[in-house]
Amino acid sequence: MAELSEIRKKILENDIAKRIVIKVKTESLDPQDYRASANRAASEVFPDWQDDSRILFLAIDVWSERTFLVIDINHHDYDFGTAHKAKTVLPVFVLRQHGKRRDWVLIRWPQEDEPLSAQLADLHNVNGFDATPFLENHNSRIVHANPREFPV
């Protein structure tokens, strides 16, 4: 198993665009402030991600057992203003802790390339122009008050 620093180096070693889904146990996050605790989890993997133009934290998807943090790497043609229409397909990798030692592993997850791009476009639409990362808490009622476009 690789150290987190080695995995981070591998993720950032080239300029190829990719999508990283960090999978964490929901119980490890603060239910009173999922956004702040998800930001801390993202910072564990990518220190100073807020100041790194290669790293774009897009979504926090909270479920009862697991939470998924969606982060684009080297997605240089990302346009927040049109992201609700662009279903940019990037290769998806899952980063999670595994085993009793809680070692980090990075796994290619090709079956999610297209579905996750469609989900992200939808999140951009339903969240209007709220700042990323978007927070979707599936343990409570989700209301999107200001979508960019209404479905026809």
Tokens of 75: 């997605």
pLDDT of 36-93, one tens digit each?
A: 999 999 999 999 999 999 999 999 999 999 999 999 999 999 999 999 988 789 999 9
User: What average pLDDT does the structure give for the chain?
Assistant: 91
Would you call the peptide bond into 133 cis, given omega within 30 degrees of 0 as the criterion? yes
Decide which of 67 and 3 is more confident: 67
Q: Is 62 helix (H, G, I), strand (E, B) or coil?
A: strand
pLDDT of residue 152: 55
Domain ranges of the chain: 4-137
Q: Is the pLDDT of residue 100 over 90?
A: no
Distance (Å) of CA 142 to CA 16, 58, 145: 34, 17, 10
Q: Is 8 helix (H, G, I), strand (E, B) or coil?
A: helix
pLDDT of residue 151: 63
Q: Is the pLDDT of residue 14 over 60?
A: yes
Q: How confident is the model at residue 31 (pLDDT cuts 50, 70, 90)?
A: very high
**Burial of residue 48, with CB atoms counted within 10 A of its CB: 0-12 exposed, 13-18 middle, 19 or more buried:** exposed
